[in-house]
Amino acid sequence: MSDAIARAEAWLAQDPDGETRAELRDLLARADAGDADARASLEDRFATRLAFGTAGLRGELGAGSNRMNRVLVAQAAAGLAAYVLETADEGTEASAPLVVIGYDGRRNSDVFARDSAELFAGAGLRAVLLPRLLPTPVLAFAVRHLGAAAGVMVTASHNPPNDNGYKVYLGGANDGAQIVSPADAEIAAHIQRVADAGDVAALPRSLGYEIAPESVVDAYIAATAAVGPAPAGAEGLTWAYTAMHGVGWETFSRILDVAGYPSPVLVERQISPDGAFPTVAFPNPEEPGAMDLAFEAAREAGAELVIANDPDADRLAVAIPDDTADGGWRRLTGNEIGLLLGWRAARRVQDAAPGASLACSLVSSPGLQTVAEHHGLDFHSTLTGFKWISRAPGLIFGFEEALGYLVNPETVRDKDGISAAIAMLEMASEARGRGATVADLLAEFGETFGHFASDQISVRVDDVSIIAKIMSALRGQHPERIGETAVTGVDDLLEGVDGFPPGDVLRFWLENGSRVIVRPSGTEPKLKLYLDVRGASAGDAQERIAALSAGAREMLDAVG
């Protein structure tokens, strides 16, 4: 305990934030008085530090090296600055490498962004701060648009309200994509050296950073509107939209005007940025109940479609009327949306240059490969995350089942929930123009490519060691059957599988062609199982996926 107290006192001496200083002083006083909870909290906050990896930083706000706060962000900014200066001659031409910073509406996002801009400028970089809180895709766009050496987005995307994060992009040869190995380890080493030095107050700062002109946002709006200008069928379209208390609406609304789509029915209680996310337990469109207010607004308006973004607007959710669903609305799965958008992309490149490809993460629907083969395109399966998908050779479209879609790789090398929404509105409007619905599009897809069905099982834990134990148990003894179906093959990505770097992923192949993939979440304390089947009909696929889901739960119970 004395080590934790010493680290806490050293942290307190350099913390520029009055709120976290007060929080830490209170914990130290309570611990000194023998409060067991305060002692446990200090141990948790200072036993380790938030790891910087290919997802950057993400964690709960609060004092301590294992929390998101101004000290940790200062160390990260100084470490990233050192890395950019060290590697500047590898792809940037400016005498002072440029770093662009964006931020969303979460608590402290603006503070962390300004701290970063001051530290980048103080380190001798040209630092450019986006003019206000904006969606993550605008930052990803700005990295390429401004020819930046790197970009930082302060966001925790769809995480719980008290989280925040620090996402890093690289320019030059990385073309505005998120960081991957070995850059993550090299940046982390620089960050550690800053932390070891011990006092972020000694780091040079400067107010000489720039505010990006509105022309950067205007350029993103123009490029995104061009993804799918409104066809004739858009006239009279009634649809509902929620920003999930995030930053999407201001930018999205301007794009709708330029592209020519009718304004949606807004979920007013969720349309403005609010880092407390008061109407949802988790600000994630995938979570149960998160879209209930959108469904209510859609029912009242007689809408044909619901569109939702997550809080930083890099994800897209879509729902359609369905009399068989609870409440009369059904949210499409990420795979359903991804397959429709992939089909759209493939149809548009019939005369594409050799090497044009579709790509998705290995946990996403195998149906995209079928689409690629049907249209004579290449296909790439990648590890999870758009840091990998965006790097697929010849990419014209990529997606991940967790509601992430990359529809305009020439513009944004990351998932973008706003450009994906425009593409989805275009598809829905074109179908509407010939008297069809999005449900009809799904049926047409099944008739053309086969009937794919997917499911996901997520196990949230308080103790992340439980996840490691389950993965170890599944590796120690592979299941012979999942439900009533025999397992015919197992791929363990830790041991190396062709085409993939090592990863903590198990993939089980079943004799009927079905597939089960098991992996820990990269951003939350969850174990995730991804299930995929292909059926002779929509009904057959649903029966297969239901049986596979039951079998997968039995497998978890047996090892958990």
> Cβ(306)–Cβ(239) under 8 Å?
yes
- Output the domain CATH number for residue 532: 3.30.310.50
pLDDT of residue 92: 45
Asked if 289 and 426 sit in the same domain, the reply is yes
Asked if 89 and 55 sit in the same domain, the reply is yes
Residue 130 located in a structural domain: yes
> Cβ(49)–Cβ(66) under 8 Å?
yes
Q: What is the DSSP string of 202-213?
A: GS---S-PEEPP
pLDDT of residue 451: 96
Residue 549 located in a structural domain: yes
Residue 186 located in a structural domain: yes
Helix, strand or coil, per DSSP, at residue 539: helix
Cα three-residue angle 473-476-482, rounded to 5 degrees: 70
Asked if 333 and 394 sit in the same domain, the reply is yes
- CA-nearest of 244, 375, 260 to 315 is 244
Residue 546: which H helix or E strand, with range?
Answer: helix 538-559
> Cβ(364)–Cβ(375) under 8 Å?
no
Task: Provide CB contacts within 8 A for 176, sequence distance 6+.
Answer: 140, 141, 143, 144, 148, 151, 169, 170, 412, 413, 414
Residue 218 located in a structural domain: no
Indicate the pairing of strand 357-361 with strand 378-382.
Answer: parallel
Q: Report which residue type is found at 373.
A: E
Q: Which DSSP symbol is given to 247?
A: S
Helix, strand or coil, per DSSP, at residue 158: coil
Q: Is 159 exposed, middle or buried (0-12, 13-18, 19+ CB in 10 A)?
A: buried
* Separation of alpha carbons 331 and 339, rounded Å: 15
Residue 141 located in a structural domain: yes
Residue 514 located in a structural domain: yes
225: tokens are 């509107």
Residue 376 located in a structural domain: yes
Helix, strand or coil, per DSSP, at residue 120: helix
Q: What is the DSSP string of 275-321?
A: TT-TT-SSS-TTSTTTTHHHHHHHHHHT-SEEEEE-TTS--EEEEEE
Asked if 372 and 476 sit in the same domain, the reply is no
* Active-site pick, 157, 357, 390, 454: 157
Asked if 457 and 398 sit in the same domain, the reply is no
Asked if 99 and 181 sit in the same domain, the reply is yes
Count how many domains the chain has.
Answer: 4
Asked if 110 and 256 sit in the same domain, the reply is no
* Separation of alpha carbons 312 and 138, rounded Å: 10
Residues in the chain: 560
Cα three-residue angle 212-414-350, rounded to 5 degrees: 120
- Output the domain CATH number for residue 429: 3.40.120.10
Asked if 387 and 442 sit in the same domain, the reply is yes
Helix, strand or coil, per DSSP, at residue 494: helix
Task: Provide CB contacts within 8 A for 518, sequence distance 6+.
Answer: 470, 471, 474, 505, 506, 507, 508, 527, 528, 529, 530
pLDDT of residue 349: 85
Q: Report which residue type is found at 188.
A: A
Indicate the pairing of strand 329-331 with strand 316-321.
Answer: antiparallel
> Cβ(94)–Cβ(126) under 8 Å?
yes
Asked if 428 and 486 sit in the same domain, the reply is no
For residue 200, what are the domain limits? Answer: 51-212
Domain boundary among 192, 212, 232: 212
Residue 351 located in a structural domain: yes
- Gyration radius of the chain's alpha carbons: 24
- CA-nearest of 187, 160, 198 to 62 is 160
Q: Is the pTM of this model over 0.85?
A: yes
Q: What is the DSSP string of 354-373?
A: TT-EEEEETTS-THHHHHHH
Asked if 243 and 335 sit in the same domain, the reply is yes
Asked if 250 and 134 sit in the same domain, the reply is no
pLDDT of residue 559: 86
The single residue listed with the structure tokens 């995307």 is 157
Active-site residue flag, 41: no
Asked if 360 and 459 sit in the same domain, the reply is no
Alpha helices (H) in 146-233, listed in sequence order: 183-197, 214-225
Domain boundary among 408, 424, 449: 449
Q: Report which residue type is found at 42.
A: L
* pLDDT tens for the chain, residues 1 to 560: 578 899 999 999 999 999 999 999 999 999 999 999 999 999 999 999 999 987 799 999 999 999 999 999 999 999 999 999 999 865 445 579 999 999 999 999 999 999 999 999 999 999 999 999 999 999 999 999 999 999 999 999 999 999 999 999 999 999 999 999 899 999 999 999 999 998 999 999 999 999 999 999 999 999 999 999 999 999 999 999 999 999 999 999 999 999 999 999 999 999 999 999 999 999 999 998 999 999 999 999 999 999 999 999 999 999 999 998 888 999 999 999 999 999 999 999 866 668 999 999 999 999 999 999 999 999 999 988 999 999 999 999 999 999 999 999 999 999 999 999 999 999 999 999 999 999 999 999 999 999 999 999 999 898 889 999 999 999 999 999 999 999 999 999 998 887 788 889 999 999 988 999 999 987 678 899 999 999 999 999 999 999 999 999 999 998 87
> Cβ(107)–Cβ(156) under 8 Å?
no
